[in-house]
Amino acid sequence: MNYDLSLTTLILEASLLVKIVMLLLLSISLYSWFLIFKKRGELVLARQDVNSFEDKFWSGNELKHLYEDISLRSYSSSGITGIFEVGFREFIRLQKTSSNSSFVLEGVQRVMRVALAREVEQLEMSLPFLATAGSTSPFIGLFGTVWGIMNSFSSLKNVQHVTLSMVAPGIAEALIATAMGLFAAIPAVVAYNKYLYEVERLINRYDVFLEEFSSILQRQQS
């Protein structure tokens, strides 16, 4: 007996549960790739924002002029620009209400830390899904494979003479689930590790700027 072992036939003739596993893995893979490209664009924009802002910040212009230029934008600032904007706005506000330099500086650092926490949350968004997809997809695929192989052998319980050609289609269709699990997991793991490194570098730059900006404001009050 000849069996059609083409990929399409194996998928279409797989058991219902194996088909559900394959569909789940396909959905995870597609959504992972969507997040990979989306996060890549976000990180590129974030790096460009940091580089552009730091050039302006260290160019020697007055901080007040830089703040006014940023405040005139028609859209809300984010990233390192947003941290600077909320910090300097709070600095101006507190200077009008208090002459205590320590109180002013603590207030500025507090609002910048809040803004930094929001930026960190935004940068780390999507990373948990990529980590989860990378760690669980192979096991989901393995589950589909084990189930498919069990069905393949259970269907032969009443057959007296079992040949390789009889079990090969069932095993082949089951192994597709494992292959799909790896296909979904590998890009997610690679992207997660790469983006996590880039996010940590950006957060470190935000932290360094926050401390340097605080030092500048402290000197201005002295």
Quote the pLDDT of residue 13. Answer: 66
Hey, what amino acid is at 43? L
Phi, psi of 18 (to 5 degrees): -65, -35
Q: Judge whether 159 lies within some domain.
A: yes
Evaluate whether 209 touches 83 at the Cβ level (below 8 Å). yes
Write the pLDDT tens digit of every residue in 90-120: 988 888 887 788 888 899 999 999 999 999 9
Residues in contact with 115: Cβ distance below 8 Å, sequence separation at least 6, in sequence order: 82, 83, 86, 87
Quote the pLDDT of residue 203. Answer: 94
> Would residue 60 be called left, alpha or beta, if left means φ above 0 and alpha means ψ between -120 and 50 degrees?
left
Q: CA 187, 18, 7 angle in degrees (round to 5)? A: 70
Q: Judge whether 172 lies within some domain.
A: yes
Q: Judge whether 131 lies within some domain.
A: yes
Q: Judge whether 98 lies within some domain.
A: no
pTM: 0.81
Q: Judge whether 117 lies within some domain.
A: no
Q: Judge whether 95 lies within some domain.
A: no
Evaluate whether 31 touches 164 at the Cβ level (below 8 Å). no
Quote the pLDDT of residue 165. Answer: 58
Q: Judge whether 97 lies within some domain.
A: no
Reported residue count of the chain is 222
Q: What domain range is 181 assigned to?
A: 7-60+127-221
Low-confidence ranges of the chain (pLDDT < 70): 1-13, 74-75, 153-170, 222
Quote the pLDDT of residue 147. Answer: 81
Tokens of 125: 């968004």
Evaluate whether 99 touches 93 at the Cβ level (below 8 Å). no
Q: For the chain, what is the domain count? A: 1
Write the pLDDT tens digit of every residue in 172-206: 777 888 889 999 999 999 999 999 999 999 999 99
Q: Judge whether 122 lies within some domain.
A: no
